[in-house]
Amino acid sequence: MEELGLLMQGFGVVLEPQNLLLMLVGIALGVLIGVLPGLGGANGIAILLPLTFAMPPVSAIIMLSCIYWGALFGGAITSILFNIPGEPWSVATTFDGYPMAQQGKAAEALTAAFTSSFVGAFVAIVMITFIAPVIAGFALRFGPPEFFAVMFLSFASFIGMSKGPALKTVCAMMLGFLLAAVGMDTVTGQLRMTFGSTEMIRGFDFLVAVIGLFGISEILCSIEDGLRFKGERAKIDAKVVLKVWVSLPKHWWLALRSSFIGCWMGITPAGATPASFMSYGVARRMAKDGASFGKGRIEGVIAPETAAHAAGTSALLPMLTLGVPGSPTAAVLLGGLIMWGLQPGPMLFVEQKDFVWGLIASMYLGNVVGLIVVLVAVPWFAAILRVPFSIIAAIILVVCAIGAFTVSNAEFDITLMLLFGVIGYVLKKLDYPLAPLVLALVLGDRTEEAFRQSLLISQGSLGVFFSNWLVSSIMAMGFALLLWPVVSWVLERISAHRSRTGAVVPREA
Amino acid sequence: MSAERGLRMSMVEAGTALAFALAGMAAIGDSLRIGTGWGTDGPKSGTFPFWIGLILVAASAGTLVQAVRARTESGLFASWAQLRLVASVLVPTVVYVAAIPSTGIYVASAALVAWFMHRLGGFGWARSAAAGIGVALACFLVFEIWFLVQLPKGPLETALGY
């Protein structure tokens, strides 16, 4: 087992005292970020990214990925205690988590949520450990057409699997591509879409966009519902934890199924949010008494949390092996790799063994540390939300502004951040998905480059994307996903036509 | 009429679709200027944005049609009361961002925190000002001294020798 040897080397890297400390700092910051409204995994990491330039890349990625794990854990705290999902992927956790808290079973719900998060993440990490090297080895043979096909597939799956209207997904995605193209064309050196402005030559940095789209807009959205958080109190003691842990093994099948749903949804860039909903839906449908879901069933906490954490973790698999991130947060981490001077993609596994295996080892350890930290410190993190919103909101705005500025030391970026905040607020309220916008902004240049290089190979013929079985099958899968909304719409029409009694076919989430 | 008045969803929906279409058209226009299609050394700079712009215009036209069709049954985007709340956060933030180049980020941040606490949180001026200054000082310690990151500074910091 070559992987196990490399993994042990990775543990050697992670167990250096400095890296262990960074891991703890990352987890604590991550939970904090997950609890606070307006700061999430993606923009929290975006804000902190510029501060890591001086660190060795492996230390930086350990800290930032631990922020990610922490944020995944932290989202559950606010969902269960306050009925406010701190992160989009914990929305489904509120359905049964908050009722449990109202019935005085907050500690049980929290323990179940944290433990199943851990289980989901663990399954995903084991999968990454053994599958990632295989995929990376396979992808070493990829040329530009294959890379373009993979990106096409991941964008197509956004359109095919999105919950919202497909046209809006297309709009958001295309806007991302256009924003990525603004500025200097890296191939010809020509200025594009700057419209005579010198500020635009630098182009739009996706970190600034992420801070605005996810941070500022979240503040604007949460202010709409007033300024107060009402929450249940919780203190977790060892007795409750043990009681819940004893009761958990009987849900092993639920946890395993949710983990698989999560892993699958995380690899395809659908992300953690739909994974948590889907897993919750499947759990309800498979249960004998599905109607009692939503009234405080522990299964209703286990299913979405396991899936969300599995998806969030496995989103790093395509990011590491192909350079195509599976979630906005993974996209921000990918941006980090580029800034630290690493070339994302399969070559990482060949040239940066320490980095890759250090990261994978830190996932194992980080999730254990994370589980302990959240179980011990829940009351303190919950206390943060009792600080008045007027103070928290102002501080988050200041932190976002500083974060946007430090990306490239430009005051204009703060203005841009605010603009993206307002755009994000409107788009969010209108049900435009933000994740494809961010992913297109991050991957736009590389997608275009792969596209142009492919055309150079074929002297301009689009046939290059169907020139061998590998690239053709990836493209075919992409087209199948792309056409899926149309197909399902037609099928729905037909079945609605057949049953004129008014029975509507439920749409799959 | 519904009991609560405010901005209608269909209006914002249509406006956003139009804005998307305009962005697409701008991209198409600029791409045509720098050239699309096959150049001497491969695809010209405008090729990719041209097609992206085209797809964007088409998709937003579709969204617009859907919005117009659904205009009668659409609800509120936000009530006026909600929009007032949003403005109470957004307007000070705009002022804050506009002030940063002249006052520096620390003074502006202190003012923002104090304003939020006093106006939105109902705290007294003294406590609000103290908290504002505290936040600014904490930021200064963390960024300028600990992480050695230079943030925008204004006349106050210059007077203090930074």
Domain assignment present for A137: yes
Q: What's the gap between Cα A10 and its chain centre?
A: 24
Per domain, the residue ranges of chain B are 6-74, 80-159
- What are the angstrom distances between the C-alpha of A158 and each of A168, A266, A274, A483? 11, 12, 11, 12
- Nearest residue, CB atoms, A394 vs list B45, B66, B113: B113
Q: How far apart are CA A38 and CA A35, in angstroms?
A: 9
- The domain of A442 spans 2-498
- How many independent structural domains does chain A possess? 1
Q: How far apart are CA A306 and CA A255, in angstroms?
A: 6
- Does A506 reach chain B within 8 Å, measured CB to CB? no
Please say whether the beta carbons of B108 and B122 come within 8 A. no
Q: Which helix (H) or strand (E) holds A191?
A: strand A191-192
Nearest one of B56, B137, B120, B38 to B86, comparing CA atoms: B120
Domain assignment present for A336: yes
- Does A198 reach chain B within 8 Å, measured CB to CB? no
Contact list in A for residue B46 (CB cut-off 8 A) is: 192
Domain assignment present for A503: no
Domain assignment present for A507: no
Q: Which helix (H) or strand (E) holds A183?
A: strand A183-184
Contact list in B for residue A388 (CB cut-off 8 A) is: 117, 121
Contact list in A for residue B43 (CB cut-off 8 A) is: 451-452, 455-456, 460
Min distance A38 CA to chain B CA atoms (Å): 13
First to last CA, chain A: 39
| A489 three-class SS | helix
- Nearest residue, CB atoms, B49 vs list A50, A181, A418: A181
- Does A404 reach chain B within 8 Å, measured CB to CB? no
Q: What is the ipTM of this complex?
A: 0.92
Interchain CB distance below 8 Å, A395 and B113:
yes
Residue with tokens 């179940």, as numbered in its chain: A112
- 3-state SS, one letter per residue, for chain B: CCCCCEEEHHHHHHHHHHHHHHHHHHHHHHHHHHCCCEECCEECCCHHHHHHHHHHHHHHHHHHHHHHHCCCCCCEEEEHHHHHHHHHHHHHHHHHHHHHHHHEHHHHHHHHHHHHHHHHCCCCHHHHHHHHHHHHHHHHHHHHHHCCCCCCECHHHHHCCC
Domain assignment present for A365: yes
Domain assignment present for A386: yes
- Does A460 reach chain B within 8 Å, measured CB to CB? yes
Q: How far apart are CA A134 and CA B151, in angstroms?
A: 45
Contact list in A for residue B130 (CB cut-off 8 A) is: none
| A192 three-class SS | strand
Please say whether the beta carbons of A97 and A394 come within 8 A. no
Interchain CB distance below 8 Å, A178 and B49:
yes
Residue with tokens 């001086």, as numbered in its chain: A54
Q: Which helix (H) or strand (E) holds A184?
A: strand A183-184
CA atoms within 13 A on the CB side of A127: 23
Domain assignment present for A506: no
Q: What's the gap between Cα B55 and its chain centre?
A: 25
pLDDT in tens, chain A (509 residues): 677 888 888 888 888 888 889 999 999 989 888 888 767 778 888 888 888 877 888 889 889 989 988 988 888 888 888 777 766 677 788 888 888 888 888 888 888 889 988 999 999 999 988 888 888 888 888 888 888 888 888 888 778 776 678 889 899 999 999 998 888 887 777 888 878 777 778 888 888 888 888 888 888 888 877 656 666 666 677 777 788 788 878 888 888 888 888 888 777 765 667 777 878 888 887 777 777 777 878 888 888 888 888 888 888 888 888 888 877 888 888 888 888 888 888 888 888 888 888 888 888 998 999 998 888 888 788 777 778 888 888 888 998 999 899 888 888 999 999 999 999 999 988 888 888 888 888 888 888 888 888 888 888 788 888 888 888 988 998 888 888 878 877 888 888 777 655 444 444 43
> What is this structure's pTM?
0.85
- Nearest residue, CB atoms, B121 vs list A190, A390, A425: A390
Cα radius of gyration rounded to whole Å, chain B: 24
Residue of A177, A222, A390 to mutate, testing the B interface (most B Cβ within 10 Å of its Cβ): A390
